[in-house]
Amino acid sequence: MLILGIDSSCDDTSAAVVADGRHALSNVVHSQVRLHRPHGGVVPELASREHLKNIGPVVREALKNAGAGLKDIEGVAVTVGPGLIGSLLVGLYYAKSLAYCREIPLLGVNHLEGHILSIFLEERLPEFPFVALTVSGGHTSIYMVEDYGRYRRMAHTVDDAAGEAFDKAAKVMGLGYPGGAVIERLAEEGSSDSVKFPRPMLSGGSIDFSFSGLKTALILYLKKWSVSGCDSREVRLSDIAASFQEAVIEVLANKLVSAVRMTKVRSVVLAGGVACNKRLRGRVEDAISGEGAGLFYPRASFCTDNGAMIAVAGYHRLLKGQKADLGIDVKSRFPIDELEGSLT
């Protein structure tokens, strides 16, 4: 069964064709990084216009790369939330038109469900139930995943997401956008114990996340650091990047270990854009191995926003007979806990 997946939740326009919920025959992503870099972040209006310009060519390229035509597609899966309203609308209405014209099922997908299920595009798979940490620019949450379509949120961020914290940190450090990748590269040249940044919410028993205080601590440190002469600084910018990155990663790893201990699962999935961070993967793997659990994560192209993961989620919804009608709308905020009642 071939499913066309479409994602336009933020600043990437993506379409993919996936066979039987497991094999990505194509996965095309049009990045808007160059467009938004001068602004230091995503500008919603610019993102929407760029999606409008690229959605058609991206879908056609995905079909071509898969060696398929619309006549071969048995369902159209599309992100309906969470995300930027204008961006989401472009993908949804394009998907609606395809489903209507071809008389095939329309499958509304929660973006977070897509990230969780992206691991099923890999050869090595986790066993249900498993714990999933979704960590990206807009989301940092821990889920108990009991089966396809059965998710329970265990923890979330009470303010900034980890990816957002990286982006803001890179901006105040003058490193550019997007922040996660550039901080990771710079951190490789620095010492992670040079600056003692706080580890928010590690005590008290909660496994929720908070990164706004860490961001404030960085800003205050940079103000003091900048007044010293360049030649006399003992702490380099790379040391600050490494120390900040380590603080974020330590919080993520420790909270995840707590979730594993609470659930006693044997599989852990790391998903979302920040899951590309090699230091995070290594730290988490070391941490959970002591709990007898194994780590699973998608390749980089399936960690960032992509249509293939949306197609996987749509495939499993179609198997359960959960089709969306043409009146379905987008949601800027869409807790995965609301999934069942919203997409049937």
Instruction: Note the pLDDT of residue 338.
Output: 62
CA angle 261, 262, 266 (to 5 degrees): 55
Q: Which amino acid is at 344?
A: T
Q: Which pLDDT score, from 0 to 100, does residue 325 have?
A: 92
Residue 268 is inside which H or E element, if any? strand 267-271
Phi-psi region of 83 (alpha: psi -120 to 50; beta: other; left: phi over 0): left
Q: How many CB atoms lie within 10 A of CB 328?
A: 18
62 membership: H or E segment, kind and range: helix 44-66
Consecutive sets of 10 residues in the chain, 344 residues long: mean pLDDT of each?
Answer: 97 97 98 90 94 98 97 97 96 97 96 97 97 93 96 94 93 90 94 92 86 94 78 80 96 96 96 95 94 96 96 97 94 75 47
pTM for the full predicted model: 0.93
pLDDT, residue 231, reads 45
Helix (H) or strand (E) holding 24: strand 23-31
Q: Which domains does the chain have, with CATH numbers?
A: 2-117+302-342 (3.30.420.40), 126-297 (3.30.420.40)
Q: How far is CA 94 from CA 4, 91, 115, 165, 309, in A?
A: 12, 5, 21, 32, 18
DSSP assignment of 131-196: EEEEESSS-EEEEEEEETTEEEEEEEBSS--HHHHHHHHHHHTT--SSHHHHHHHHHTTS-TTSS-
90 near 79, Cβ under 8 Å? Answer: no
Alpha carbons 81 and 87: distance in angstroms, whole number:
10
The residues facing 293 across adjacent strands are: none
- Residue 172 burial by Cβ neighbours in a 10 Å radius (0-12, 13-18, 19+): middle
